[in-house]
Each structure stands twice: as C-alpha cells, then as structure tokens.
Structure 1
Amino acid sequence: MWQLYQFPLCPFSRKVRLLLSEKGIGYELWRENPWEGRDEFLALNPAGRTPVLHDPAKGLTLIDSRAICEYFEETTDKNPMINGTAAGRAEIRRLVALFDENFYGDVTAPLMHERMKKRLVYRASPDSRVLREAMKLAHEHLYYIDHLVDHRPWLGGPMMSLADLAAAAQISVADYLGGLDWSGHEQAASWYAVFKSRPSFRPLLAERMEVIQPPSHYADVNA
C-alpha cells in the first residue's frame, strides 16, 4: 500500500490526500516533520519536503504534489481531476499553480511560519506585522474565488477539478491557523462549505496539530 509522508498542516499533502480519496486509492499516513531533517526521509526526498508517496512493495517513490497528482491522473481513470477540453485542462493547471504558488506564498506559508513553526520549533512569538499582511492578501485571493464562483459552477469550470482540491487544501490550512476573515466573501464561503461536506474532506477537518487549535468554526460544515 502507498505510504504518504506528511504532517497535518501541510497543504500540499492535503491536496494529494483529497485527490487519492476522490479517486478511491488506499494509502497509509506516515507522520513526517520535514524541519527535523531525518536521514531516512532525506533518503526518500533529498529536498526534504512533504508530501512523499512511497510504495515499498513496488519500490516506487513519488515526490512533489503536482507530480503525484499528475501520476494518478495518468494511471487512474476514476474521477478525472484534470478534465474537459485542452483549453479547460490548461485553465485547471493555471489555477492549481495560482493556489500552489501565489496563495501559498502570500498567505499559507507566512501563517505556517508565524503560527506553527515559530511556536513548535523556535519557541518564539509570531510577528503581528507579517500576520496582518498575510490576512490582507488572503482577502484579495478570496475576492478572486468570489469572482470565479460567480461565473462557474466550480473554480476550474463546469466540474470539480484539481483546481478545487488545490484551493481547498491551502484555504483549510489558512483557516485552521485563523488567517481568514470570511466576511464579505459569501460566494467563496458557500463554495468552501460545499467542499467541506465531501467525504474526502472530513478526515482533514478532524485532524489537529499538537498544541495548535483551530477556530471554533473550522470543522463546522455549515460555517
């Protein structure tokens, strides 16, 4: 069986978990804190980042969330997540890159550093200036999701796609860390509430990162 090396607040691991669940692919969770730099983990991925998906029986290791998702798109027919016409698939990939790179860089990464890594690794207090800037940029991203939802059934087009999975993975971590203000973003909030209700998403809502608790609304599928 596949072994997924991850930690609870890794947004890229969450994206892979959502895709595997939507496709009905079994896997085991293996906890990995990449900041610890374990030799055994670095032997699997010299870059030292999660997620890593490993099948010891096949001697196969997959690294990088986009590469992992593309692998299963090519090898599993069930529930394609990069779907539609060539132009539609290009749009899905554009949005995946937007959330993986821009949303992560603007919002998720600084929140993780200030509210998770500083607390768990450095035993330091968060920088309120960095947090304010991340939350300000989060509003801009949520406004763009509002715009997409106004014009499409799902973020990438008429069907749920990897764009929705990538966005939900980043948003869920930012929301866990208290970095999102949903006021004024009814469209984005409605889209996210639908996504939170999916069976693939519920295990993520149930997980907790030690000593860091999410806001009360985090796991509420109606919030």
Structure 2
Amino acid sequence: MYTLFHHPFCPHSRFVRLVLGEYGLDLRLVEERVWERREEFLTLNPAGTTPVLFAEGKFAIPSAAIIAEYVDEVHGAEMDDRRLLPAAMAERIEVRRLTAWFNEKFFEEASSPLVTERIYKRFMAEQDGGGAPAAEVIRAAKTNVRYHLNYIGWLAQRRNYLAGERLTYADLAAAAHLSAIDYLGDVPWVEDEAAKNWYARVKSRPSFRPLLSEWLAGVPASRTYVDLDF
C-alpha cells in the first residue's frame, strides 16, 4: 500500500496517479495544499512540493521524476510488455526526454501558470499569493499550450504513442498535464486532430477514470473533460 500526498489538480500528482493506476498498485490519497506549508509535510519533502509518495514502513519519495524511477525499479520488471519505461537504452532515453519535456517545460510554460492562476489562487490567502488571476499570465500560458499541442500532434502522427509503439511514462506525463488544463477548457483541441485522437485513447484507459471524477466546487469542468468521444 502506498500513500500519495497530492493535490487533485497538480499535474505532477496526476502523472503519478496514472502510473500507479497502470501498474495496479493500491493507493491512499492525502490532499495537500502546499501553500499552507504544513510542518509535517515539509518533514516529508523540504522542497514543499507535491507529489510525495510514501511507501508504508519505508520512506517518503518526493517529486514525480524520482517516484517514476522508483516505481520502475521496484515494479517495472514484473510488468513485461506493459512496463512504462522500456528495457532498451535508446527507448528509455526517448521516454525520459519526453517525460521531462512535459513535467518540466510544459509545466513551467503552460500547466503550472494556468492551474496556479485559475485554481490554486482561489484557495490561497492574500499573504500566500492568493487573489484575482493575472490575465497576462493566463494569456501567455494559453499561447504556450498551442505550441505544445502542436508538438504532441507531430509526435502522434509519426508514432503509435508519443515515445514509440507502446504506452510509456511520456504519454502519461503529457496526458496528466493536459487533463488538468482541459478541466478548465484551456486546450484548443480543434487545432490538432492528431493530438486530440491520441489524448482520447489515453483518456479512455481505466487508470484515467479516477482523474475524470475530480471536481472543483465553484469551477465546473469543461464539456470535453469527461467526454471520451469529444
């Protein structure tokens, strides 16, 4: 049994939930509002960021990248052809490259500013950075979403999945970030049919169902969020 300290709309937390869901691992969720800087949480992860995975009776594992490596080391070999980090070195490098692209570059340029401005700030005290969303930040992030969506479409036209012929960490990372901002209606799906079709396939997997059940009081989900055939 694992415990995940997360926020429902943290893209990195969503990535880890998808990974554990694909591997069929039991998971207990603990919602963490990182801006509150809880002492108990900072003991688990001094960086004060989600996600943090706690292996019962063992240790706390911070950050999506470290968690993904840990899960592969502990559970990957037993998954055979469903392993999310392939065995071949060249394939592993490509999966890691794209996973980092979405968990770092996409996060910084698009999903983090949109989630922060449109979700987190609603619940943050003014002294913690809460308040009205910054329109200029949202505009810039939406522009960046188009750039990333185009790259996803380019990959999807040339491969069965983003990093190759089968589902990997790269697909789950991209889908996790897109899902958080798709809830807000900030993904222009009409602009790239290949990206949309790829996302529909990933979104239809059983591991995705818990994410699609997440709702935020006062912020209704977009029309496309739960629609598997959008």
User: TM-score normalized by structure 2?
Assistant: 0.93
1:84, CA displacement in angstroms?
Answer: 4.7
Q: Which stretch shows the higher mean deviation, 86-95 or 112-121?
A: 112-121
Does the CA-based 8 Å contact 2:185-2:224 persist in structure 1? no
- 2:64 match: 65
Is the counterpart of residue 112 in structure 1 residue 119 in structure 2? Answer: no
Letter in 2 for 1:60: F
| 1:21-74 C-alpha deviation (Å, 9 max, x unpaired) | 111111101111111111111111111111111134x23211111111111101
Is the counterpart of residue 74 in structure 1 residue 81 in structure 2? Answer: no
CA distance in 2 between counterparts of 1:62 and 1:136 reads: 34
- 2:54 match: 54
Q: Which stretch shows the higher mean deviation, 77-86 or 7-16?
A: 77-86
- 1:32 match: 32
- 2:193 match: 186
Q: Which stretch shows the higher mean deviation, 59-68 or 193-202?
A: 59-68
Q: Which stretch shows the higher mean deviation, 4-13 or 212-221?
A: 212-221
The DSSP-based 3-state class of the residue aligned with 1:208 is coil
| 1:180-221 C-alpha deviation (Å, 9 max, x unpaired) | 111121000000011111000011001113332221221111
CA distance in 2 between counterparts of 1:27 and 1:118 reads: 28
Does the CA-based 8 Å contact 2:156-2:198 persist in structure 1? yes
RMSD of the TM alignment (CA)?
Answer: 1.3
User: Aligned to 1:98, which of 96, 101, 126?
Assistant: 101
| 1:140-190 C-alpha deviation (Å, 9 max, x unpaired) | 101111100110000000111000010001111111122211112100000
The DSSP-based 3-state class of the residue aligned with 2:61 is strand
Q: Which stretch shows the higher mean deviation, 140-149 or 207-216?
A: 207-216
1:98, CA displacement in angstroms?
Answer: 0.4
CA distance in 1 between counterparts of 2:31 and 2:200 reads: 27
Q: Which stretch shows the higher mean deviation, 141-150 or 212-221?
A: 212-221
CA distance in 2 between counterparts of 1:60 and 1:53 reads: 8
CA distance in 2 between counterparts of 1:215 and 1:95 reads: 27
User: TM-score normalized by structure 1?
Assistant: 0.95
- 2:163 match: 156
CA distance in 2 between counterparts of 1:49 and 1:211 reads: 25
What's the % identity of the aligned pairs?
A: 42
- 1:89 match: 92
Structure 1: gaps spanning 5 or more residues: none
The DSSP-based 3-state class of the residue aligned with 2:29 is strand
| 1:77-119 C-alpha deviation (Å, 9 max, x unpaired) | 2231111521111001000010011111111111012101222
Structure 2: gaps spanning 5 or more residues: none
Instruction: Give the 4+ runs in structure 1 shifted more than 4 A.
Output: none
